[in-house]
Amino acid sequence: MVDGTTGGEGLLFLTDEQLRKGIEAMFFAYRGFTADPDRILEGMDYGRAHHRAIHFIHRSPGTTVSNLLSILGVTKQSLNRVLRSLVEDGLVESRVGKQDKRERHLYLTAKGAELERALSDAQRARMRAAYRAAGPAAVQGFRTVLEAMMDPELRRQYQGLRDGNA
C-alpha cells in the first residue's frame, strides 16, 4: 500500500539515512536562517518574537491581533507582551476597528517599517545568495518540500494571503 518496496530502482531518497540528512539540513539551515536578524536584534530590547510580529504585520497591514495569534501560534498573553513593547516604542500602531471596535488593527509606523526593512534585508540577502547558488530548479524543489512538510492548517496560512482586515 504505502509500498516503499517497489523492487527495482527503489526510492533511494526515502532511506532512513537520506531522511536523517534532511532532518539535519533543516536544523542547520534554520540556524543560518535566523542568524542575521538575531544579530541585528541583539542589543536592542527585542528578540525573535518581535521579529516575527513585525514581519507579519508588514505582510498584512491592518491585521488583527487574533489573526496574528493564529499565524504565530502563541498565546495572546505572549503576543501581547511583545506587541505592547512595540507599541510603546512607537514601532507599531494599534487602531481600534471601525466596524468592530473590539478589534485592534495593527500597522507598522515609519520607525517600525525601518526596522522591518533592516531585518528582512538581512534575511533576504541570505536567502537570495542561497537561491542564486542553488538555481531555479532547486528553489522550486525547496519550496515544494517545505510546503509538504507543513501542517495542513499552517499550509493554508502560508498560501492564503486572505487576511480580511476590515
- Which residues of this protein are in contact with a second copy, per CB under 8 A? 2, 4, 11-14, 16, 18-33, 35, 52, 55, 59, 73, 120, 123-124, 126-151, 154-155, 157-158
- Among residues 65 and 127, whose Cβ is nearest to DNA? 65
- The partner in contact with residue 107, picked from DNA, a second copy, none with C-beta cut-offs of 5 to 8 angstroms by kind, is none
Give the separation between CA 12 and CA 90, rounded to whole angstroms. 53
| Span from 20-28, 97-105, 128-136, 155-163 in contact with DNA (CB under 7 A) | 97-105
65: contact with DNA by CB under 7 A: yes
Least separation in angstroms between CB 77 and DNA: 4
Query: Taking Cα atoms as reference points, which of 57, 49, 54 lies closest to residue 165?
Result: 57
Q: Tell me whether residue 42 or residue 88 sits nearer to a second copy (CB atom).
A: 42
**Would you count residue 58 as binding DNA (CB under 7 A)?**
no
> Quick check: 82 binds DNA (CB under 7 A)?
yes
Amino acid at 74: V
Q: Which residues bind DNA (CB under 7 A)?
A: 45-50, 52, 64-67, 69, 73-84, 94, 96, 99-104
